Chains A and B, each alone.
Chain A
Amino acid sequence: MITSRQDLDRVRATVSEALGRQKARVLICAGTGCVANGSLKVYQRFVEVLKARGLYTDVDLLLQHEGDGTTVAKSGCHGFCQMGPLVRIEPHEFFYTKVRPDDVTEIVEHTLEQGEVIERLLYTDPVTNEKAVSEDSIPFYKYQNRVALANCGRLDPEDIREYIVHDGYQAIARALTLSPEEVISMVKESGLRGRGGGGFPAARKWELAREAEGAIKYIICNGDEGDPGAFMDRSVMEGDPHRVVEGMMIAGYAVGASEGYCYVRAEYPLAVSRLRKAVAEAEARGLLGDSILGSGFSFRIRIKEGAGAFVCGEETALMASIEGKRGMPNPRPPYPATRGLWGKPTVINNVETLANVPAIVLKGGDWFRSYGTPTSPGTKTFALAGHVANTGLVEVPMGLPLRDIIFKIGGGIRGGREFKAVQIGGPSGGCLCTEHLDLPLDYDSLKKVGAMVGSGGLVVMDDSTCMVEVAQFFMNFAQNESCGKCVPCREGTKQMLAVLQRITAGQGQPGDVALLEELAEVVRDGSLCGLGKTAPNPILTTLKYFRHEYEAHVREKRCPANACEALKSYSVDPEKCKGCTLCARVCPVGAITGERGQPHTIDASKCIKCNACVEKCRFGAIRTN
């Protein structure tokens, strides 16, 4: 049991000393991405091979001064999921990618026994062709600054002792020596803003809830991350659950709450189980419960699984969901800080926001402000996806230009194509184009151009992307995920989707673009909650920056990116066609005819646009426009 600051320091010293005696450490990424790629089999294999060779040890053995070999741990997500399973070897800091179970024996023999690096498992820069030995030398990591993700990939998230060794629970210990007001002013000095979307100052929320009347108050950690392609919060919850727990404790102390709820998507089973384990371990050690570290401050955390509704990420809907009601937003005011969960003052912070808190308390607001911009201090995690060479999770200082993220960290556009646009902030965000490449990524700059940081999704698109289709994709999402409560969102998203579908199907009518724009503005103006208010953003921004694409679809029945199936027309370029008959043979509907050696023709009335002829033709003779 840890009942005082001294106990905590003693545990840290003991475990740290024990871990210092290990010869080497193998960290196998056990984030969802790597697990899906088979990292657990790699882990098993490491344990087997090391045990067979008498090299295996673990923290318990080390603590009992037995064994001094190699420890094997399942770590949290490194963020570079496309290269998984990832294996990190300490103290060499070798970083192996795409490791298969069959590679394990070789790693043990060469790297662990002889300290040699295995070249073929290293990351190769696709541009320079250089091999990167350690994580830090990979461009993907070189430009990152990890605060929220600091421990992800560095420790075993299922072992509280490892977190304690990495300064875990030192921040709550420090906070408990300060007054709640002092803790709030530290966070205020840091300028920390909500990482979940709106960017509301975290300290202000705390202050309002602290000032609100009532003996019972709640802290809610919002882990209902639902944007397509976003997995920042998941990685933190999976990779460093104790940091979330500690952040909630500090918020609880500052606000005067003794109970917290961590609301996690049920689609994140690993995050749920790791958080449950973290809470149980913290309780077992006395770090959660009554009179934490002998301070008199008591705090408990419950894990609440969501049931799959995107809208439950909206704070009032989330609270309704915890209360067992239908997850639907309610009008604000009253704001949660005054009347929240069960009618009590409540602070709802996003996972990443809370994950920043322990570091701020330990290192101070000035340190935090040393990252980012004056109005958007600190770092922000983004999920980089789409047509970039390197996809994954990146944490960068706020205000970094888009160009750096896409081209330096992301390695540029995949396949040598041209950059066209980036959708930032998920379905609530906006689509930005080339003119924004030097735009600093921070709350205010993004808001100015009609986008938002959102939870931090970054979907990069190349020139083969049709912007109308992009808007349609996000509108389809918003339409499916609307809770159905207010008219503008429920009916408006449905009708906007119908207009978009009409346009991409080549059935756009004159006036459709104006209708779409008007409807988008009404839905933005009139919706009840943030989901509805921001649902038209993809349309409004694509209309702003790519209006000509909409016009081309409607007026000329042409998709400039040549992406909309319905608008493609297949024909043979007689200049290029050699009459090899390959296309006629592969065509499943017999739409292509012609004499051998003569240019062929495609019967448009039969063609089903399956693209088989394009793929088969060796002369590039099939035109699709």
Chain B
Amino acid sequence: MMAKLTIDGQTIEINSEKNVLELVRKLGINLPTFCYHSELSVYGACRLCMVEEEKMGLIAACSTPPQDGMVIRTNTNRTRRLRRTVIELLLANHHRDCTTCEKNEACKLQSLAHQLGVRKVRFGERTEILPIDNSSPAVVRDPNKCILCGDCVRMCSEIQGIGVLNFANRGAKTTVAPAFNKQLSEVDCVNCGQCVAVCPTGALTVRSETEIVWNALHDPTKTVIAQVAPAVRVALSEEFGGQPGELVTGRLVAGLRRLGFAKVFDTTFTADLTAVEETDEFLARLAKGERLPQFTSCCPGWVKFCEQYYPELLPNVSTCKSPQQMFGSVAKRFYSRQLGVEPKDLFVVSIMPCTAKKFEARRPEFAYQGIREVDAVISTTELALLLKQDGIVFNELEDEAFDTPLGLTSGAGVLFGVTGGVAEAALRAASGALGVNLDKVEFHEVRGFEGIRSAAVRLGDAELKVAVVNGLGNARELIEKIKRGEVHYDLIEVMACPGGCVGGGGQPYPNDSQTRQARAKGLYRRDKMTQFRRPQDNLAVQQVYEKWLDGRHSQTAHDALHTSYRPRRRIDGSEIVLNGARSDAQPVEVAVCVGTGCYLRGSYDVLAQFTQLSLSDELAGRVNLKATFCLEHCDKGASLKVGDRIVTGVTPENAAQVFHKEVASLFQK
């Protein structure tokens, strides 16, 4: 006999459901929640999902396991009163500037208040206004709108394995904040925007660049061109009442032209270019057997994560720029010439599903002649806003096609928008390059939504071991396994967001796993429809190599399409002065790094020895000794800084020697 329970008079069998809420929703009853997400741990804080069980009374559906014979009612006087009061209490503590809020009309608190019939807040208004953190290029944090559901906290720690945000303080003073209440730009946030993706209110929003874009569009000296990432075309329609996964490429292009973009191009084009370039790099490494596994580099969230946590793996990351930056590079270096426009007057706007792309575009290395390769990055939702602001009736637009040559694409490039897609594009490129298995273009073994997938793919004589990871927590798990020697791979694709770019932080809300899967399906449909499936078959790619890049493997191609990485500090902190120098002495500044990487290599012992040594008679008062947090040479630690010079490779054993050579010797002259 199957265990059964009754919900609102309907009987339903209990299968593998972990909680009552799953069953309620299975019956099509839309029980509201703020803090329940099937992919996150059960938190049980918002209390909206409380239902009445005949014997147990009021229970939270999210955290109660279903039992045989339960008789549940989801809508009773008590549950209704509870839900309304919860919303009312949240509203009383919420900065209610709804009409001017970034999240207006996409806010869950707002829509639930309406839906549950809360028409009055009987309690006072929020009086305390905390400062807004807009230090990050990707995410704006407004604590005055936070309802403390903890979704961002759990997303960042459980899925992304980082934990930038957590709760601080107690009771009514509780807030969500980065460590030491620092700003987002000062901590190890990778800008992935997954916190934004789950935030039900305007507490976490995407940092808007729409005004920058408007100003450029209305600047007569600028030629403004657009590039559109693959995942945008399967999500944009959601902002206009459409379904996730619906392909609206034609209307999207038309809309951008109406906005005033001189040319509308496709990032999918440079995705093809990336796939070709990255595969060349991979096959070269494979032949030499060096710097393997090769990690993909198109995800800026992952790249920053790797710089912060795994600097020793940076040589393994592909040196290829991401498709966004390849586009910017090609546009500013070469396409501007074709147009006859100065690179400084060519304004490149990216339309991305991603918030980390905003950070990536600002990286100082992504500049040509001192000008940014990509001038502005807007998210899918920001684009929707631009269209609405311009009075464009999106759903009535006629389809238009991308401009050439940077608008021509293969099916492989389209797949960059979904987890497994970059790996699949690389496999298509590799089989094409090696001239093997040419009858196979679809590599279903790397598709799917599981966090870590792996496959052994036979290409001719070689068997490639490929892993695909989405979610940075999974990346961490896989890397630790590799470091322990438990697994070996040749190629590893990492995308920071669960599901890949279709679930990026800049995509419309709701951005849950169901929506992400529907968007991914749209991309796979698009791939099937393309004439060319392999990236190197893209004629425009071939042309660009010939016309502008001096062919494959050339220095020009390398200069334009590749980049480098550096270890990056996780948290900004002021130095701690240990032995201060006398003001009359001309002191030498010595800073010993006590960040995690150096600490693990014994920098505390080094610091202790330096403290003693700098107290010796002849040096007393002449050394300004400090502890510092990160000198960004984590791969070569322990590191220290004498004056402006970085000294690496210091160990507790050679500390005294280093001190005499680098510090004491300065005073002997």
A252 to chain B, nearest CB (A): 29
CB nearest to B64 among chain A residues: A333
Q: Mark A452-495, 1 if CB is under 8 A from B, else 0.
A: 00000000000000000000000000011111111110111111
> Chain A contacts of B667 at CB under 8 A?
none
Find B171's partner among A333, A480, A518, A526 (CB 8 Å cutoff): A480
Find A480's partner among B45, B62, B170 (CB 8 Å cutoff): B170
Inter-subunit contact B174/A484 (CB<8 Å): yes
A226 to chain B, nearest CB (A): 13
B124 to chain A, nearest CB (A): 6
Inter-subunit contact B169/A526 (CB<8 Å): no
Q: Does chain A have a CB within 8 A of B86?
A: yes
Inter-subunit contact A482/B172 (CB<8 Å): yes
Interface of A is mostly: helix
Q: Mark B122-142, 1 if CB is under 8 A from A, else 0.
A: 111000000000000000000
> Chain A contacts of B286 at CB under 8 A?
none
Tell me the B60-109 residues at the A interface (CB within 8 Å). 60, 62-65, 78, 81-82, 85-86, 89-90, 92-93
CB nearest to A524 among chain B residues: B58
Inter-subunit contact A479/B47 (CB<8 Å): no
Tell me the A500-528 residues at the B interface (CB within 8 Å). 515, 518-519, 522, 525-528
CB nearest to A487 among chain B residues: B86
Inter-subunit contact A488/B86 (CB<8 Å): yes
- C-alpha spacing A86/B430, complex, angstroms: 88
A334 to chain B, nearest CB (A): 9
- C-alpha spacing A483/B150, complex, angstroms: 13
Q: Mark A584-622, 1 if CB is under 8 A from B, else 0.
A: 000000000000000000000000000000000000000
- C-alpha spacing A495/B124, complex, angstroms: 8
> Chain A contacts of B50 at CB under 8 A?
525-526
Inter-subunit contact B171/A482 (CB<8 Å): yes
CB nearest to B47 among chain A residues: A526
Find B63's partner among A331, A491, A492 (CB 8 Å cutoff): A331
CB nearest to B172 among chain A residues: A494
Most chain A C-beta atoms within 10 Å of own C-beta, residue among B44, B62, B89, B122? B89
Q: Does chain A have a CB within 8 A of B167?
A: yes
A495 to chain B, nearest CB (A): 5
Find B46's partner among A311, A328, A487 (CB 8 Å cutoff): A487
Are A488 and B89 also in contact (CB < 8 A) when A331-B60, A479-B172 are?
Answer: yes
Q: Mark A286-326, 1 if CB is under 8 A from B, else 0.
A: 00000000000000000000000101000000000000001
Q: Does chain A have a CB within 8 A of B119?
A: no
Q: Does chain A have a CB within 8 A of B55?
A: no
A106 to chain B, nearest CB (A): 51
Inter-subunit contact A528/B170 (CB<8 Å): no
- C-alpha spacing A488/B46, complex, angstroms: 8
Inter-subunit contact A490/B171 (CB<8 Å): yes
- C-alpha spacing A572/B45, complex, angstroms: 55
Q: Does chain B have a CB within 8 A of A581?
A: no
Inter-subunit contact A484/B172 (CB<8 Å): yes
Are A333 and B65 also in contact (CB < 8 A) when A487-B90, A526-B47, A528-B47 are?
Answer: yes
> Chain B contacts of A487 at CB under 8 A?
45-47, 86, 89-90, 147-148
CB nearest to A532 among chain B residues: B47
B65 to chain A, nearest CB (A): 6
CB nearest to B65 among chain A residues: A333
Q: Does chain B have a CB within 8 A of A105?
A: no
> Chain A contacts of B44 at CB under 8 A?
330-331, 486, 528
Q: Does chain A have a CB within 8 A of B42?
A: yes
Inter-subunit contact B167/A522 (CB<8 Å): no
> Chain B contacts of A479 at CB under 8 A?
171-172
A58 to chain B, nearest CB (A): 44
> Chain B contacts of A528 at CB under 8 A?
44-45, 47, 60
Inter-subunit contact B85/A483 (CB<8 Å): no
> Chain B contacts of A491 at CB under 8 A?
89-90, 92-93, 172
Are A493 and B172 also in contact (CB < 8 A) when A487-B47, A528-B44 are?
Answer: yes
Inter-subunit contact A483/B170 (CB<8 Å): yes
Inter-subunit contact B172/A490 (CB<8 Å): yes
- C-alpha spacing A485/B44, complex, angstroms: 9
CB nearest to B62 among chain A residues: A331
Q: Which 3 A-B pairs have the closest CB atoms?
A: A484-B174, A331-B63, A331-B44
Taking Cβ atoms with an 8 Å cutoff, the residues of A that contact B are 309, 311, 326, 328, 330-333, 479-488, 490-495, 498, 515, 518-519, 522, 525-528
Complex A-B: 23 CB contacts under 8 Å: A311-B170, A326-B167, A331-B44, A332-B63, A333-B63, A479-B171, A480-B171, A482-B172, A484-B148, A484-B170, A484-B174, A485-B45, A487-B86, A487-B147, A488-B89, A490-B148, A490-B172, A491-B89, A492-B89, A494-B171, A495-B123, A522-B85, A526-B58
Q: A487-B47, A498-B123, A526-B85 are in contact. List 6 more A-B contacts (CB 8 A).
A: A331-B43, A484-B174, A494-B93, A494-B171, A518-B81, A528-B60
